[in-house]
Amino acid sequence: MKRFRIVIKTKNKNYPIIIGENILNKTGNLINTRIPNCKKIALISDSKVPKKNLIQVKNSIKNFDNFHIKLNTSEKIKNFKTVNKLLNKILKKNFHRNDCIIALGGGILGDITGLTASLIKRGIKFVNIPTTFLSQLDSSIGGKTGINSKYGKNLIGSFYQPEMVISDISTLNSLPKREIICGYAEILKHALILDKKLFFWLQKNGKKILNLNNKIVIQKAIYQSCKIKAKIIEKDEREKGLRMILNFGHTFGHAFEAATNFSNKINHGESVLLGMICAAEFSFKNKILKNKELNLIKHHYSMLNLPNKVKDYFKKKDVKNIIQFMKSDKKNTDSKIKLILISKIGKTLKSKSVGEFILKNYLNSKFL
């Protein structure tokens, strides 16, 4: 299968995203080319990564002075305790700035590892190898790192661009359906905010993607989605304006996650899917989005059986807690809550400030 390559161009760094099949065994060669002075490698992997994939990466870096740390990742370990543990293990090995940390796993692992890399000697080399559908489409691109706090999700972090991203679609074969749906949320988001053609392509190919039964379609979906995100990041690396549109559905979504204390009841992608349908519906209720467009979105959700009902996950008494987490969102600059809304499929408003009372009424209406 042909390998795709996208180059992300930011003010701080240009770096490639390499998308292909069975390319994990090329990791060492790619590092040699991209980071020629690298001598030491710390491989940080998620315990859920299949042994076969881990061995492929390990074998490819055996000519480097390397060591391996395995983490049992979940939202509950996205904290300073985990970062401190990694810092101490890597500093003990006296890594230099040209040495490298590899993240092999999903978005949680990438966020933790990227933040760790940004802190060691004010920044050592970082290579991201996302192994989940969601991380290949979203968190591995753009340089956001982060950990959670009791006040909400990803409120502590930095912008730190990797040296490269290696996305091997063969790693998706071991994922459960729920994880594929999680990643699909990001492709759909990119279509809804910026690319109506992609939305109609997803109408035809969504089932193939969710069933993982067409590798060419999967690779194209990742490539197209990454291109959209790259285009936005190149214009606004540090989320000062345009990049905020990537948060469509996330103000609701992050609050949904936090309100369940990041439990398995609803994962990140499911929360974002639920958040996007809420944001689209809220756009319609505020006369921003036409009913015809909203119905197209609702039909897409229904056709693919995507999460779309708040009351499937929450009770009316949870609304107060959800609103509190929405108020803590990092996009907010005053007492109002900033939402990213859409005026049509493929066209986004940068943000709209909404009062707490209006949002409370909207969420309460989901339980009538």
Closest CA to 228 of 189, 201, 280: 189
Catalytic site includes residue 96: no
Q: Which of 66, 128, 154, 247 is catalytic?
A: 247
Q: Which of 125, 153, 243, 338 is catalytic?
A: 243
Whether 185 contacts 290, CB under 8 Å? no
Closest CA to 178 of 268, 84, 104, 109: 268
Q: Which of 239, 257, 281, 293 is catalytic?
A: 239
Q: Which of 125, 229, 300, 338 is catalytic?
A: 229
Dihedral over alpha carbons 230, 175, 18, 200 (to 10 degrees) = -50
Paired with 168 in beta bridges are 20
Q: Which of 254, 257, 267, 300 is catalytic?
A: 254
Catalytic site includes residue 121: no
Catalytic site includes residue 247: yes
Catalytic site includes residue 186: yes
How does DSSP assign 77-101, residue by residue?
G-SHHHHHHHHHHHHHTT--TTSEE
Catalytic site includes residue 291: no
Q: Which of 153, 250, 300, 338 is catalytic?
A: 250
Q: Which of 2, 92, 122, 240 is catalytic?
A: 122
Catalytic site includes residue 268: yes
Q: Which of 40, 48, 190, 268 is catalytic?
A: 268
Q: Which of 179, 186, 270, 293 is catalytic?
A: 186
Catalytic site includes residue 179: no
Catalytic site includes residue 163: no
- How would you label 82-99 residue by residue, b for 16+ Cβ within 10 Å and e otherwise? bbeebeeebeeeebeeeb
Whether 79 contacts 148, CB under 8 Å? yes
Residues carrying an active site annotation: 122, 144, 186, 229, 239, 243, 247, 250, 254, 268
